[in-house]
Chains A and B, each alone.
Chain A
Amino acid sequence: MYKRDYRDIISGGVLFGVGAFAAIYAYLNYQMGTPRHMGPGWFPFYLGLIMAGIGLIVALSALSREGSLGKFEFKSLIMVCGATLAFALAIRPLGLVPAIFAISIIVWLFDDRYGWKLSLISAVLMSLGAVLIFIYGLGMPLQIVNWRLFG
């Protein structure tokens, strides 16, 4: 427990930041128009204002309140982002199955519960499932493996 509710101070700050950014960006770059003939900037500007206002309320009311911060799961976040990124980078040049294996490799690297045998089985099962559901079942035009890369 902290003396100030830091979580809400941060969240209020974030809301304020995003809202202010949106409002300022809209004001500077798009036409406001009049209420009768609303320009593209009108709606985003006022939305940003509202959001910034709420952010201020949240942050200010948190200054005098106790609060706690939970645990930020950095490792899980990096692993999931890494796996997704690996898929995104692999799917075009390498094909579907290698992209799925890329996910499994990242999981194997980060998660202690996954030994190489489990990762391999998981990768194979997922690939089978994906090919059956997406390529045969739904008829998506995806390359299963890009053999050309291997010569």
Chain B
Amino acid sequence: MFADLAGHIALGLETAFSWTNLFYCFVGVFLGMLVGVIPGIGSLAAISMLLPITFHLEPTAAIIMLAGVFYGTSYGGSTASILLNLPGTPSSAVACVDGYPMSKQGRGGIALMMTTVGSFIAGSIGIVIMMLASPIIVEYALKFGPSEYFALMVLGLIAASAITTTAPIKGIAMVVFGLLLGCVGSDLETGVARFAFDIPELYDGIQLTVIAMGLFGVSEVVASIEGIRGARVDAKSITLRSMIPTSDDWRRSWMPILRGTLGGSFFGALPGTGGVIASFMAYALEKKISKEPERFGHGAIEGVVAPESANNAADQTAFIPTLTLGIPGNVIMALMIGALTIHGIVPGPQFMVQHPDMFWGLVMSFWIGNLILVILNIPLIGLWIRVLAVPYHLMYPAIIMFVCMGVYSVNNSHFDVIMVMIVGALGYSMRYLDLPAAPLILGFVLGPLMEENLRRALLIGRGDFAVLFNRPISGTIMAMAIALLLWAIYENYRPTKGRLVDADD
């Protein structure tokens, strides 16, 4: 097995070190860092806006860049949390609790340094797990039939929507809506144009970019215009020297980093959970097992590095089910799958077998990306602090422009731009009604595949739905999915206790 691994690593390095892929890796992590630092733009909006640009690139470079944006945002998010008490991303929200007090004590630089170190270690371990676990998972998954795939997709969708949204049952409804929207257009099996309402542009279905950018780009801008204010940070206070931690800091940090990594890796790989839950759990764990719990909330470094390590590890392991099984664990992974699909690559166990250079090149580029981020975070910290000072109202017209440009560039169609406006208005209304948009994208991306697998499974089972439950693997998975569904309905009737955050990262 290790000889195989060495071969894979070599192949990956060869792919990752091409000038094109290195360049796009850098662009990706740089943009990710930027987006993470700025409150008001999430990685979701950024990736949605970059999707059309990736169409002009080679698939490997495209995914490397998008992935870079994804894990780059967790590095950047903690900067705003620690320095401004304003989370740049939801998964960095926990870092505010102890990070901001550290800043007020003049130890903000140390907090930033230690989270960078922790994030790097966590990311690296996450990548190692990915390298070791993926071939094994793929080996098993190649034996899956359409029943198993359908069951996995049902479980993944229900899990992702039910666990992370404020009202689980609404999340499931939105998944179903997404599946319905995926039906718009020509049905592959029968050729019938469904829900096209005689509009020719709809015969090919709704573009993923239109939906993604409308729901996350446009609606987020509408919601943020009035709300977000810029904030002042004293740029001179963070020098390189002030970032050097004491040995006491190191001593206190290394176990929380490892514990955070462990928890993060676990939660990242599960569909439905990810960086947000991982970071909250890591903080709770550290506080619980600490011998001095009263320090937490007043600048305990453990409370900063553990959640940040957790969310970085989760970011890396989130790719495992996505790339090995084709099941997205969260919305961003769904967009990645969407991007791959548009390039003609179907993610699933076949992916690693048919495109080993892309798979291993991607894994190796994760290393490279994490390294670049360390460099960006430590010496260039002054740059990011200046970025934080730019007020949001100066930026949103550019966001509107990027959305318009991006959508237009896919088909040179101004109809698409009008569609994005409509979807954006609907998306904002959905936000207002507390209908989560993230599960919709999950359903939209997986819809056609789910239908196809269901069709095939029923064909094998001669029209009997028992075929989904008779087989041991798919039966177990379906049972889990149903259990989750029942729990979601039950949750709806309980009075809402405060739920964490929702899935719009």
How long is the Cα–Cα vector from A134 to B169 in the complex, in angstroms?
Answer: 41
Whether B404 lies near A103 (C-beta < 8 A) is yes
Whether B397 lies near A83 (C-beta < 8 A) is yes
Interface 1/0 per residue, A10-54 and B, CB below 8 Å = 110011001100100110001100111111110110011011001
Whether A39 lies near B425 (C-beta < 8 A) is no
Whether A138 lies near B458 (C-beta < 8 A) is no
Contacts of B177 in A (CB 8 A): 15, 18-19, 51
- Contact partner of B433 among A7, A44, A89, A99, CB < 8 A? A7
How long is the Cα–Cα vector from A139 to B55 in the complex, in angstroms?
Answer: 12
Contacts of B226 in A (CB 8 A): 73, 76
Q: Smallest CB-CB separation from B467: which chain A residue?
A: A35
A40-B194, A84-B404 known; A15-B173 Cβ under 8 A? yes
Rounded to whole Å, the gap between the CB of A71 and the closest CB of chain B is 9
Rounded to whole Å, the gap between the CB of A113 and the closest CB of chain B is 5
How long is the Cα–Cα vector from A41 to B190 in the complex, in angstroms?
Answer: 10
- Contact partner of A130 among B172, B222, B401, CB < 8 A? B401
Interface of A is mostly: helix
How long is the Cα–Cα vector from A19 to B435 in the complex, in angstroms?
Answer: 14
Whether A22 lies near B180 (C-beta < 8 A) is yes
Contacts of B173 in A (CB 8 A): 15, 19, 50-51, 54-55, 58
**A122 contacts the other chain (Cβ, under 8 Å)?**
yes
Interface 1/0 per residue, B180-199 and A, CB below 8 Å = 10010001011010110000
Rounded to whole Å, the gap between the CB of A1 and the closest CB of chain B is 14
A30-B192, A35-B458 known; A51-B397 Cβ under 8 A? no
Whether A25 lies near B179 (C-beta < 8 A) is no
- Contact partner of B180 among A48, A77, A79, CB < 8 A? A48
Rounded to whole Å, the gap between the CB of A80 and the closest CB of chain B is 5
- Contact partner of A76 among B225, B435, B464, CB < 8 A? B225
How long is the Cα–Cα vector from A35 to B398 in the complex, in angstroms?
Answer: 49
**B144 contacts the other chain (Cβ, under 8 Å)?**
no
Rounded to whole Å, the gap between the CB of A60 and the closest CB of chain B is 10
**B250 contacts the other chain (Cβ, under 8 Å)?**
no
Interface 1/0 per residue, A129-144 and B, CB below 8 Å = 1100010001111100
**B110 contacts the other chain (Cβ, under 8 Å)?**
no
**A63 contacts the other chain (Cβ, under 8 Å)?**
no
Contacts of B56 in A (CB 8 A): 138-140
How long is the Cα–Cα vector from A139 to B222 in the complex, in angstroms?
Answer: 30
Rounded to whole Å, the gap between the CB of B59 and the closest CB of chain A is 16
Residues of A70-110 contacting chain B, CB below 8 A: 70, 72-73, 76-77, 79-81, 83-85, 87-89, 91-92, 99-100, 103-104, 107
Which interface residue of B393, B401, B408, B417 has the most chain A CB atoms within 10 A? B401
Whether B194 lies near A140 (C-beta < 8 A) is no
**B451 contacts the other chain (Cβ, under 8 Å)?**
yes
A18-B177, A122-B394, A126-B397 known; A38-B218 Cβ under 8 A? no
Interface 1/0 per residue, A104-121 and B, CB below 8 Å = 100100010110000000
How long is the Cα–Cα vector from A19 to B178 in the complex, in angstroms?
Answer: 11
Whether B218 lies near A14 (C-beta < 8 A) is no
Rounded to whole Å, the gap between the CB of A14 and the closest CB of chain B is 7
A25-B195, A83-B400, A140-B409 known; A10-B176 Cβ under 8 A? no
B interface residue numbers (CB < 8 A to A): 53, 56, 167, 169-170, 172-173, 176-177, 179-180, 183, 187, 189-190, 192, 194-195, 218, 221-223, 225-226, 393-394, 397-398, 400-401, 403-405, 408-409, 412, 414, 417-418, 420-421, 424-425, 428, 432-435, 451, 454-455, 458-459, 462-465, 489, 492-493, 495
Q: Report the 5 A-B pairs with minimum CB-CB distance, sorted nearest first.
A: A36-B463, A88-B417, A11-B433, A54-B173, A84-B421
Q: A40-B192, A72-B432, A77-B425 are in contact. List 20 more A-B contacts (CB 8 A).
A: A8-B167, A11-B434, A15-B435, A19-B176, A22-B180, A47-B176, A47-B180, A54-B176, A55-B173, A57-B169, A58-B173, A61-B493, A73-B225, A84-B404, A85-B421, A91-B414, A138-B53, A138-B409, A139-B56, A142-B409
A interface residue numbers (CB < 8 A to B): 7-8, 10-11, 14-15, 18-19, 22, 25-26, 30-31, 34-41, 43-44, 47-48, 50-51, 54-55, 57-58, 61, 65, 70, 72-73, 76-77, 79-81, 83-85, 87-89, 91-92, 99-100, 103-104, 107, 111, 113-114, 122, 126, 129-130, 134, 138-142
